Amino acid sequence: MLTQIAQITLMNLRNLPGRLGRSSVIVVGIGGVVTVLTALLAMAAGFSATLDRAGSPDRAIVLRGGSSAAELSSTIDLQRSQYVATLDGIRLASGELYTVADIPKRANLLPSNVAVRGVEQAAFEIRPELRIVEGRNFTPGRNELIAGRSASAEFLGIELGATVQLRQSEWQIVGIFEAEGSAYESELWADLASAQSAFRRFSLISSMRVVLASPEAIESVRGEFEVNPAVDLSIVAEEEFFRNQSEFLTALITGFGYGVAMIMAVGAMFAALNTMYAAVSARTAEIATLRALGFGATPVVISVLVESLALALVGGALGAAAAWFSFNGHSVSTLNQVSFSQVAFDFAVSPGILATGIVWALALGLAGGLFPALQAARLPITRALRGD
Amino acid sequence: MSTFGLVWANLFRHRARTLLALFSIIAAFLLFGLLRAVAVAFDGGAAVAGVDRLIVSPKFSIIDGLPVSHQAQIESVPGVAAATHATWFGGTYQTPANFFVKYPVAPREFFDLHDEYIIDPAQLETFERIRTAAVAPEELAAEYGWQIGDRIPIEGDIWLRKDGSRLWEFELVGTYRVRDDENAFAAFLFHYDYFDEARIAQTEGIVSNFVVRVADPERAAEVSAQIDARFENSTNPTRTATEDEASRQFAAQIGDIGLIMNSILSAVFFTILLLTANTMAQALRERIPELAVLKTLGFSDHRVAALVLFESTLLCVLGGVIGIALAWLALGAIGPSLQALLGRIELTAATMLGALGIAVLLGIVVGLGPALSARRLQVVEALRR
């Protein structure tokens, strides 16, 4: 039995190049499905990874009560920020002004929202991953900016030494920083006091970044805020904060990817079925001869299935490769609806995503091959040999 | 048997084959319909209603806000017929997932300026009279089951109240609808005066933008420049654009993602078409001997060729129409949940006509080769095969 399977399958696969024109329909169709699925999943994964990387388990964000999601709509005054800094469980705190400015994107020259963050020196201690890779840090009290690597790549005129206008004042870019590929790299940073005066937010901040004594300390701080409703503050772990930001768009792109791939898969499956039925009908005489020689039905079924799976695998591999070569590491930028600013990210084609693509390809190959295979097995031998 | 009957019967000569081809055409056009709808949304929506309307926004960033006192100055610019304002409220109704746009507005002015918003005059009057009143688009009221007279609580995030609370409560006094052919962005509307009085002192008198109607749409660019010039040297300079430009600019922020989705997916659509065409052409070629029978029965060469062409076109158009119909149904089901991100998503007439055109073209391209072979066919030779 096993030798029969091996013999027929091998013979069939060896004959495959003769049917190349028709078989390519399966390869191209399934390849297309896998390309789209892989590319869109990689886009979603890249976006959420960029935001996830910005979070650290021992850090948290203090915002005004009711604005648990967005720094932009949060305002904290001096009195409250001083109170937060003295709380038990908070090891280090930095008040930050978060706002957005319109700067043209290099891609379309249209003004888009870039995040501008005014920070105190403690902000750098709180985020040790942030490194200045070109130029130097800004001097407190001056209108100087440092720009994230991605902000510099995406926005026109955000270059070392360049001058840029934010609201009604001129700022010089004195440094470029990296932050392990996180969303912070899409921001412009300035001295808090200078930013407050340029954006007319005297002595007001948006949020506080804090380092917790331990990840559990967040509960004691939260309890403190709850027993003291007049302070009207809330605290959220940094990881959760960024997860909330990526959730919606990641789910949207992933859903879109699966939805489109599903519809395409239906199209590709019908094309595969059509091709496999044709392949079986072209092999009618051959199959009947084999059966007459004493080969069983199972080896015939398996040989047809293996043919369609092999074609599907080739298609899947080509599709995954196409997505990898055209998109992996490709940088794009979009509006993060929650922070209301542009976030640049890279497509991330991971082994897991590639595996998903291949699994889809094989499933489609199976779906396209099964019924034609069963039909092949049911061919009435005598009639088939007569050529009916 | 009529010609159509003959073609129809021929089409289902190999029922399984034909159905498979039909299904893949349907899938291709379903995809086409969905993608075009999303692409149109990424482009900033189908043509926006007011060609004679301008939006006056803060020059440096739309988050900044403008003093409401700008309105009187805008109205005095020559060429301005009317003006009103709107303010981005943010806020949450019950849970953050319940997203809809909320604007505090000057009721009468706002409805006068947006003549595509249709409201019962009595309800508009009540809206004007009661300070805590609100009106909602009909679909929104239906979605949340609001009745006239209901109190609707919104938790504010951007705007705090003087009394320290974040809870804003409004009484629903009416509903309005947007005229069908307009692709306007309908919002939950409430009284600006009430809003301004209740918010904390530091934020009083700030609005997000002004909507301006120009007397002569031809002079829109000129009026825009004049408005901006008036505020150029103030602490709150402006940037004026037509409604269309303003929404396009905002949509461009989503940027690359839309472009990439579109390019991947159009490539895919044409791949599917190619595959389908290949399969169909194959199936038609296999049936050429049958056509010899028709010729034997006295059908002319041209007639046989026309039959083949008609058959393939019919199949493609059938698939196209069903595919677009499915896309229409699917958009009706998923559109509302995407509205928050992309605005209204719908099939435009251009998309439907485009699909029909592609379907006819596909049918002709696919059928042409087999049709020519059919015409050249020698009866004797074909029957011998």
- B173-184 tens-digit pLDDT: 999 988 765 555
Residues 158..217 of B with a Cβ closer than 8 Å to A: which?
A: 158, 164, 166
B255 touches chain A (CB under 8 A): yes
Q: What is the mean pLDDT of residues B143-148?
A: 92
Highest-pLDDT range among A190-204, A258-272, B2-16, B31-45: A190-204
A263–B338: do the CB atoms touch at under 8 Å? no
DSSP designation for B159: P
Nearest residue in chain B measured CA to CA from A68: B157
Answer whether residue A51 shows pLDDT above 90.
Answer: yes
In terms of DSSP H, where are the helices of chain A? 2-15, 20-54, 78-85, 122-126, 149-154, 192-198, 217-226, 238-282, 284-292, 297-327, 351-378, 381-386
- C-alpha distances in Å from residue A301, one per residue of A288, A298, A359, B17, B296: 13, 5, 21, 20, 40
DSSP designation for B348: -
pLDDT confidence band for B131 (50 / 70 / 90): very high
Tokens of B92: 């949450």
Residue numbers in A near B272 (CB within 8 A): 29, 32, 264, 267-268, 271
Q: What is the mean pLDDT of residues B280-290?
A: 74
Instruction: Decide: A371 and A303 in contact? Cβ < 8 Å.
Output: no
Least confident of A257-261, B7-11, B122-126, B235-239: B7-11
Tokens of A130: 């942030």
Closest CA–CA distance from residue B268 to any residue of chain A (Å): 6
Q: What is the mean pLDDT of residues B241-267?
A: 76
Tokens of B61: 């960033």
Instruction: Decide: A30 and A359 in contact? Cβ < 8 Å.
Output: no
Helix (H, G, I), strand (E, B) or coil at A75: coil
B27–A264: do the CB atoms touch at under 8 Å? yes
ipTM: 0.80
Least confident of A60-74, B276-290, B310-324: B276-290
Chain B interface disruption, residue of A28, A246, A274, most B CBs within 10 A = A274
Highest-pLDDT range among A137-141, A338-342, B21-25: A137-141
Virtual torsion, Cα B9, B14, B18, B20, nearest 10 deg: 150
Helix (H, G, I), strand (E, B) or coil at A202: coil
Instruction: Decide: A353 and A41 in contact? Cβ < 8 Å.
Output: yes
Closest CA–CA distance from residue B143 to any residue of chain A (Å): 21
Q: At what angle do helices A297-327 and A284-292 cross, to 10 degrees?
A: 140
Least confident of A170-174, A214-218, A224-228, A267-271: A267-271
Looking at per-residue confidence, does B71 or B303 come out higher? Answer: B71
Least confident of A106-110, A125-129, B97-101: B97-101
Tokens of A221: 């701080």
Q: Which residues pair with A166 in a beta bridge?
A: A169
Q: What is the mean pLDDT of residues A33-52?
A: 93
Distance CA(A187)–CA(A341), nearest Å, equals 9
Q: What is the mean pLDDT of residues A216-224?
A: 93
Residue with tokens 């069939």: A12
Distance CA(B105)–CA(B188), nearest Å, equals 10
Distance from the Cα of residue A254 to its chain's centroid: 8
Nearest residue in chain B measured CA to CA from A336: B254
Tokens of B105: 């507005």
Q: Which residues pair with A64 in a beta bridge?
A: A233
Looking at per-residue confidence, does B186 or A293 come out higher? Answer: A293
pLDDT, tens digit (0-9, with 9 covering 90-100), for B8-54: 877 777 777 788 888 888 988 998 888 888 777 766 554 555 568 89
pTM for the whole thing?
0.86
Of B254, B268, B282, the CB nearest to A32: B268
Answer whether residue B338 shows pLDDT above 70.
Answer: no
Residue numbers in B near A29 (CB within 8 A): 271-272, 275
Residue numbers in A near B271 (CB within 8 A): 28-29, 32
Query: CB-based burial of residue A162 (10 Å sphere; 0-12 exposed, 13-18 middle, 19+ buried)?
Result: middle
Chain B interface disruption, residue of A264, A269, A339, A345, most B CBs within 10 A = A264
Answer whether residue A33 shows pLDDT above 70.
Answer: yes
A108–B63: do the CB atoms touch at under 8 Å? no
B17–A277: do the CB atoms touch at under 8 Å? yes
Residue numbers in B near A39 (CB within 8 A): 260, 264
**CB within 8 A of B287, min separation 6: which ones?**
B10, B13, B14
Query: CB-based burial of residue A300 (10 Å sphere; 0-12 exposed, 13-18 middle, 19+ buried)?
Result: buried
Name the pairing type of β-strands A341-346 and B206-207.
unpaired
pLDDT of residue B52: 81
Residues 83..142 of B with a Cβ closer than 8 Å to A: which?
A: 90, 96
Of A73, A249, A270, the CB nearest to B158: A73
Least confident of A137-151, B107-121, B241-255: B241-255
Sequence-distant contacts of B266-271: CB under 8 A, at least 24 apart:
B266/B35, B267/A32, B268/A32, B268/A35, B268/A36, B268/A260, B268/A264, B268/B31, B269/B28, B269/B31, B269/B32, B269/B35, B271/A28, B271/A29, B271/A32
Angle (CA) B199-B204-B210 rounded to 5° is 115
Chain A interface disruption, residue of B22, B279, B339, most A CBs within 10 A = B279
Of A25, A166, A266, the CB nearest to B279: A25
Q: Which of A32, A50, A99, A43 is nearest to A242 (CA)?
A: A50
pLDDT of residue B58: 93
Helix (H, G, I), strand (E, B) or coil at B27: helix
pLDDT of residue B184: 54
Residue numbers in B near A35 (CB within 8 A): 264, 268
B338 touches chain A (CB under 8 A): yes
Q: Which of B270, B263, B358 is nearest to B319 (CA)?
A: B358
pLDDT, tens digit (0-9, with 9 covering 90-100), for B58-76: 998 888 899 999 999 999 9
Q: What is the mean pLDDT of residues A85-106?
A: 93
Angle (CA) A115-A117-A122 rounded to 5° is 150
A263–B34: do the CB atoms touch at under 8 Å? yes
Tokens of A307: 């043919």
Question: What mean pLDDT, rounded, does chain B reach?
Answer: 85
Q: Residue B240: what are its φ and ψ, rounded to 5°?
A: -110, 135
Q: What is the mean pLDDT of residues B315-323?
A: 93
A166–B60: do the CB atoms touch at under 8 Å? yes
Distance CA(B95)–CA(B153), nearest Å, equals 11
Residue with tokens 């992933």: A254
B274 touches chain A (CB under 8 A): yes
Least confident of A99-113, A269-283, B212-226, B371-385: B371-385
Q: Residue A179: what are its φ and ψ, rounded to 5°?
A: -145, 55
B21–A270: do the CB atoms touch at under 8 Å? yes
In terms of DSSP H, where are the helices of B43-178? 70-75, 107-113, 121-129, 138-144
Of A72, A99, A333, the CB nearest to B255: A333
Helix (H, G, I), strand (E, B) or coil at B269: helix
DSSP class per residue in A262-300: HHHHHHHHHHHHHHHHHHHHHTHHHHHHHHHTT--HHHH
Neighbours of A121 (CB within 10 A): 12
Question: What mean pLDDT, rounded, does chain A reach?
Answer: 90
B385 touches chain A (CB under 8 A): no
A39–B264: do the CB atoms touch at under 8 Å? yes
Highest-pLDDT range among B14-18, B124-128, B165-169, B373-377: B124-128
Q: Which residues pair with A382 in a beta bridge?
A: none
pLDDT confidence band for A227 (50 / 70 / 90): very high
DSSP class per residue in A316-333: HHHHHHHHHHHHTT-EEE
Answer whether residue A333 shows pLDDT above 80.
Answer: yes
Helix (H, G, I), strand (E, B) or coil at B368: helix
Instruction: Decide: A90 and A217 in contact? Cβ < 8 Å.
Output: yes
pLDDT, tens digit (0-9, with 9 covering 90-100), for A273-327: 888 888 888 888 888 888 888 888 888 889 889 989 999 999 999 999 999 998 8
B265–A36: do the CB atoms touch at under 8 Å? yes
Nearest residue in chain A measured CA to CA from B282: A22
Query: CB-based burial of residue A213 (10 Å sphere; 0-12 exposed, 13-18 middle, 19+ buried)?
Result: middle
A72–B63: do the CB atoms touch at under 8 Å? yes
DSSP designation for A137: P
A332–B260: do the CB atoms touch at under 8 Å? yes
Distance CA(B57)–CA(B51), nearest Å, equals 17
Distance CA(B313)–CA(B317), nearest Å, equals 6
Distance CA(A231)–CA(A322), nearest Å, equals 55
Q: Which amino acid, A139?
A: T
pLDDT of residue B376: 83
Residue B266 half-sphere exposure, CB side, CA atoms within 13 Å? 10
Helix (H, G, I), strand (E, B) or coil at A66: coil
Nearest residue in chain A measured CA to CA from B340: A337
Looking at per-residue confidence, does B145 or A279 come out higher? Answer: B145
- C-alpha distances in Å from residue A173, one per residue of A102, A177, A199, B25: 16, 11, 17, 55
Of A111, A253, A274, the CB nearest to B21: A274
